[in-house]
Amino acid sequence: MSPPLGRVGLHSLPFWQMLQQPTQSNVINGVIASGAAGIMIVGAIVTVVLITRYRKWGVLWTQWLTSTDHKRIGIMYVVLAFVMLARALIEAGLMRAQQAFGLHGGFLAPHHFAELFSTHGTIMIFFMAMPFLTGLINFVMPMQIGARDVTFPRLNSISLGLTTAGAALVMISLALGKFSTGGWFGYPPYTETRFTPGVGPDYWIWALELTGLGSTFTGINFVATIWKERAPGMTLLRMPLFTWTALCTSLLMMFAMPPLTVALSQLALDRYLGFHYFTNALGGNMMHFVNLFWMFGHPEVYILILPSFGIYSEVISTFSGKMLYGYRSLVSATVAIAILSFTVWLHHFFTMGQSASINAVFGIATMMIGIPTGVKVYDWIWTMFRGRIRFTVPMVYAIGFIFLFVLGGMSGILLADPGIDYQVHNTVFLVAHFHNVAVPGVLFGLIAGYHFWFPKAFGFRLHERWGMLSAACWIVGFMLAFFPLYPLGLMGLPRRAVSYAQPSYVPLERVAFVGAILVLAALAALVVQLWVSIKHRQENRVFVGDPWDGRSLEWSVSAPPPEYNFALTPVVEDRDAFTLAKERGEAYRLAAAYADIELPKNSALGPVFGAVGLALAFGLVWHIWWLVILSTLTVLMTLIASGFSRDTTRVVHAEEVRRDEERWIGAARASTAISRADECDSCNVGLAVQEQEGAAA
Amino acid sequence: MSGEIIKHPGLNLGAAHGPDHDAAEPMIFGFWLFLMSDAILFGMVFATYVSSLSATAGGPGPRALYDIRSVFIETLFLLASSFTFGMASLALKYRHGAPRLIAWLAVTLLLGTGFLGLESHDFITMFANGGAPGRSGFLSAFFDLVPLHGLHVMGGCIWLISLVGQIARYGIDRQVKLGIMRLALFWHFLDIVWIAIFSVVYLGGLT
């Protein structure tokens, strides 16, 4: 019989070692770890107390957690992403501090430092970028194609539940036990029981299994939605570019997540049941893991970047007041990137024993990705050319992106050459490269999208100046934090080094540390911006719904949109459907008749699967077998019971739809249309003056 | 059949089923997407198996462990169950009534559980002959691939029982129809996967 709490014991607490052996190093690391755990626990308690104090549990449950509305699910995903972003950025700051003072030591223990880079990478990819982009696609895509919701609303809520459970597991690892030290890709045999017997890799495995399952379902759901729910006339080549990138990303999720699921399951079988997939003995082969992982891992980076490419396309076109230049080439480039993404996985391990010929093939395939990406960059620049550009916050991110991303891409082309890769692999040159594409590429895009669509989601604009400050801090902070890593890599500093013996590294490390501080300031500015914006929301309302003179259908409804999105299903005749409607004077018109609208009912399945998934994973991590059995049975029973549920839709009556429409169109008629010069002023209530395409002022 | 609008690949309910036929379109399409994703899952596990063939680490290999007669009977069970599920689908489409539908489903379930019983017996024999998954990389890969298929079949059986329960509770309503149509795809898909397993693992291993 195993004990009821499995492997959990006093030694699992973050301050235990410091109390048992109070050496200086143990105390410093114990205080940092316990502080982090404390912040997490206090944060959770404060949240619970505040919700109870303001009696919001009912609202939270009925309006949010059990909601099957794609817009609310999208918003919850983005909230999750921001919470996780905060943690992972603080970890990044700690790592930069360690390296800045890491000549012959530093203050962090090697094990602690290894946990930090593992959680930082794992969180940033799986629990920050993935939920962020999934949230934005969830919120925007159905409206862009003129749909009422995604094809499988309950499944959508379940995906959110599973992703949140994975994130919660990573958060729990702060307070109980230690996370993996194997990096975000957790290569065996290091992560096998023989070398890492503790709970760390198990936390990593089950957190990723949960969110991986969620992402697979999300991919299926989005592809089905884009394929089957488009409004009449919304042909594939009339879809907004963001929807195109959403489609390609979702296809990649569908096809790239299974290799991850397989790799993680096999590692789990090795660790739990003594199989030999990746062990050193009895025919195990760790190269299987490496191949499987990167068959997922490389498409994954395009899963991350494609939606951001879509966001930049929308942002640049909107804020240049022009139709997107080279729409068809952008679509082809997106599809080309999606396909090529499956052909380059080997470049993640050029140095791991293939023949030179194989390396050459994958090196060339890798360089080829630069071609469609280059096409995109030119298309964006041509879209801006002779446009009337407005330097709003999203546009500043977009312009910063173009400059910085091209640099990051260039260093990628260098690394695609196996000869060069042999020289710099596993140095911080690589770290500089992938942050140079991931931060300006993925993250700036997501934050630009957050600024762009925030008014649509909540009905008021975000504060412009705090946004600018944040953007400036992000851009400058990024450059200071990561450009020094290029020369440091060339000077030979290995990645993930907890300390070093070369005094010549110190100045560049210090510069990078300053950059990290600026990035943390950028995050703080985002928080302040949100606070200030909520406080002044009344004067920044954009209820009419079109604050940026938008071009696609999501701008053609009120802000926030009604839960059914469109009172009548729109009929699409060309690209930029809303711009067309505005030019023809067909926007903001009451229809002669409205019909009843059928919507999915709320469902508790999402939170239930989230909670049970978390319990199952927690039981597996800590070997609490009764919990594992209980949760498995609950999953099974819930699945069967949900099959028996009928009556899963409800009806919004035509009268109610008409009332909503009259209120909104009445507001539109009573409002003054503003020109683009007043876009960021409180007179912007979401109604735009129509101007000539691309005309100068 | 002429003039019927095909809403999705595979057996369609047909216009005679009215709105249920329309409702099937996105639902069945989504399920095809899931099957594609699941096919990748199996593909990766197949790849693991094929690239682990020589990793027997001195332990028993295919010849010492596989019993082709038993596997052949299992194959016949599964193929027959695909046929009986096909009959169930026809009973659904042409509205032959709940008793006939349930009868075909029950035969399918019987064949499915028979398959699982024989397969477990195979595994037990393998264990007895020193063929446990912890013995070698090859056996680990075998016990990833073949039981993964078995688990899918087991899931299919549970789903089938649950659908029969839904028929008992609600009759053949829209959700039952869509459920049976999806389970049918799932069942035939597993049959195809099994044919790949039979060819690659068993025939390939014994030639």
Backbone dihedral region for residue A589 (phi beyond 0: left; psi -120 to 50: alpha; all else: beta) = beta
Which 3-state string (H, E, C) describes A597-647?
A: EEEECCCCHHHHHHHHHHHHHHHHHHCCHHHHHHHHHHHHHHHHHHHCCCC
Q: Which residues make Cβ contacts (< 8 Å) with residue B78, sequence separation at least 6?
A: B111, B112, B115, B153, B190, B191, B194
| Cα(A87)–Cα(A124) distance, integer angstroms | 9
Distances (CA, A) of A355 to A287, A352, A360, A366, A368: 14, 10, 9, 17, 20
Taking only Cα atoms into account, the Rg of chain B, rounded to an integer number of angstroms, comes to: 19
ipTM over 0.90? The verdict is yes
Residue A627: both structure tokens together: 């919990």
Which residues of chain A are within 8 Å of residue B158 when distances are taken between CB atoms? 636, 640
Opening angle at CA A430, ends A429 and A436, nearest 5: 90
Q: What is the pLDDT of residue A1?
A: 56
**DSSP letter at A541?**
B
Q: Of A154, A267, A276, A292, which to mutate for an interface test with B (greatest number of B Cβ within 10 Å)? A: A276
Average pLDDT over residues B137-154: 97
pLDDT at site B5: 80
Rg of the Cα trace of chain A? 25
* pTM exceeds 0.80 for this model: yes
Share of chain A above pLDDT 70, in %: 99
In the numeric block, the tokens 């969180």 are attached to A123
**Which chain B residues contact residue A224 at CB under 8 A?**
26, 29-30, 33
Q: Which of A400, A576, A549, A375 is nearest to A475 (CA)?
A: A400
d(CA A206, CA A614): 9
User: Per-residue pLDDT for A641 more than 80?
Assistant: yes
Report DSSP state, residue A562: P
The DSSP output letter for A238 is G
Q: What is the mean pLDDT of residues A284-294?
A: 96
pLDDT at A645 over 70: yes
Closest Cβ opposite residue B55 in set A219, A283, A292: A283
- Which residue of chain B has the CA closest to A225? B26
Q: Say what percent of chain A tops pLDDT 90.
A: 96
Q: A224–B136: do the CB atoms touch at under 8 Å?
A: no
pLDDT at A693 over 90: no
Out of B34, B41, B159, name the one closest to residue A261 (CB).
B41
| Residue ranges of chain A whose CB lies within 8 Å of a chain B CB | 151-152, 216, 219-221, 223-224, 227-229, 254-255, 257-259, 261-262, 265-266, 269-270, 273-277, 281-285, 288, 292, 295, 636, 640, 643-644, 646
B134 with A273: Cβ contact below 8 A: yes
B143 chain-A contacts, CB cut-off 8 A:
275
List the domains of chain B with CATH numbers.
15-202 (1.20.120.80)
- Sequence-distant (6+) residues with CB within 8 A of A69 are A149, A153, A563, A599
Residue holding tokens 């008629």? A669
Q: Do B30 and A269 touch (CB under 8 A)?
A: no
Q: What is the mean pLDDT of residues A380-405?
A: 97
Task: Provide the pLDDT for residue A697.
Answer: 40
Structural contact between residues A112 and A172, judged by C-beta atoms closer than 8 angstroms: no
pLDDT at residue number B1? 45
Mean pLDDT of chain A, nearest integer = 95
Find the mean pLDDT for residues A268-273.
97
pLDDT digits (tens, 9 = 90+) for A480-508: 999 999 999 999 999 999 999 999 999 99
Q: Which of A22-36, A111-125, A620-634, B72-86 has the lowest mean pLDDT?
A: A22-36
- Measured distance CA(A319)–CA(A327) in Å, rounded: 16
Tell me the mean pLDDT in the region B16-34: 94
**pLDDT at residue B2 is higher than 80:** no
Tell me whether residues B44 and A258 touch, CB distance under 8 A. yes
Q: How far is A350 from chain B (nearest CA, A)?
A: 20
Q: How many Cβ contacts (< 8 angstroms) between chains A and B?
A: 119
- Provide the residue type at A255 as one letter: F
Query: Which residue is listed with tokens 């399951």?
Result: A265
- Contacts (Cβ under 8 Å, ≥6 apart) of A59: none
Q: How many CA atoms lie within 13 A of A602 on its CB side?
A: 13
Place of tokens 């036929």: B21
Asked if A529 contacts A544 with a C-beta cutoff of 8 angstroms, the reply is no
Distance separating alpha carbons of residues A289 and A264, to the nearest angstrom:
9
pLDDT (average), residues A167-187: 95
Tens digits of residue pLDDT in A299-329: 999 999 999 999 999 999 999 999 999 999 9
Q: What pLDDT score was predicted for residue A624?
A: 96
Q: List chain B residues with CB under 8 Å of A295.
A: 44
Q: Is a pLDDT exceeding 60 seen at residue B64?
A: yes
Interface test with B, best of A222, A288, A648, A649 (most B CBs within 10 A): A288
Residue A232 pLDDT exceeds 90: yes
pLDDT at A3: 83
The answer, yes or no, to whether residue B98 has pLDDT greater than 80, is yes
DSSP string of B174-187, one letter each residue: HHHHHHHHHHHHHH
Cβ pair A374, A332 in contact under 8 A: no
Q: CB distance B26–A644 less than 8 Å?
A: no
Residue of B33, B48, B140 with shortest CB distance to A220: B33
